[in-house]
Amino acid sequence: MEREATQARGRPRQASTDEQITRAATEILRELGPQAVNVASVAARSGVARTTIYRRHRDRRELLTAALRPVADKGEAPEHLTIVQRLDWVLASTEEVLQRAIGPGGVAAVLTDADPEFSAALRAALASALRPVLAQVEGDLDRGALTAEVEPDLVLSMILGVYLAETLRRGVPDETWRTRTSAALGRLLGASATP
């Protein structure tokens, strides 16, 4: 098996074991909600011994953080996109995170703060994931591609809000909705037609 260069508490780590743990934690999160994610359930789902999981993650919070790491690794929209296309990219990323990564149970847990440990881990992952998007919006403002009154952080809240509202009203939004919403948000924000 391929060995990873990094070490966990002095021992070499196998990337495949880390992937098994993360995949199991993510599946449990999506299927059963964050309260169901713990070392015992991840060990049972992944087939990895509890002791191995504890060597990699000291506690449940570290385990949740590892499961949410892919949320923070979404990157940023390509620079050649128009603002409306980038809004579409952010909406698609929002759907990926809220629907496929953490699932409805995870969204409900954050909205109700039913699992403060999970809420804190998700908010930290989202803050990291949104940094490059905020930088792009700020760059658009600096270039005059958006109206001067736009607050970058508010734009991201609007995008998350419209996705959650559509999900509450009609279920999972379709791609047609996303395209229409991106165009409408672009008009509201005074976006220019150039990237």
Among residues 53, 69, 85, the one where a domain terminates is 69
Q: Which of 151, 154, 159 is nearest to 84 (CA)?
A: 159
8 Å CB contact between 105 and 115: no
Indicate whether 53 and 124 sit together in one domain: no
Number of separate domains in the chain: 2
What whole-number distance in Å separates Cα of residue 53 and Cα of residue 43? Answer: 7
Beta bridge partners of 13: 4
pTM of the entire predicted model: 0.76
Helix, strand or coil for residue 58? coil
Indicate whether 173 and 121 sit together in one domain: yes
Indicate whether 60 and 78 sit together in one domain: no
What range defines the domain where residue 92 resides? 73-188
In a domain, residue 194? The reply is no
Indicate whether 46 and 78 sit together in one domain: no
> Chain centroid to CA 66: how far?
12
In a domain, residue 116? The reply is yes
Residuewise pLDDT in 10s, the chain (195 residues): 333 434 445 556 677 899 999 999 999 998 888 999 999 999 999 999 999 999 999 999 899 988 888 777 777 788 788 888 888 888 888 888 888 788 888 888 888 999 999 999 888 888 888 888 888 888 888 888 888 788 888 888 888 899 899 988 988 888 799 999 999 988 888 876 555
In a domain, residue 90? The reply is yes
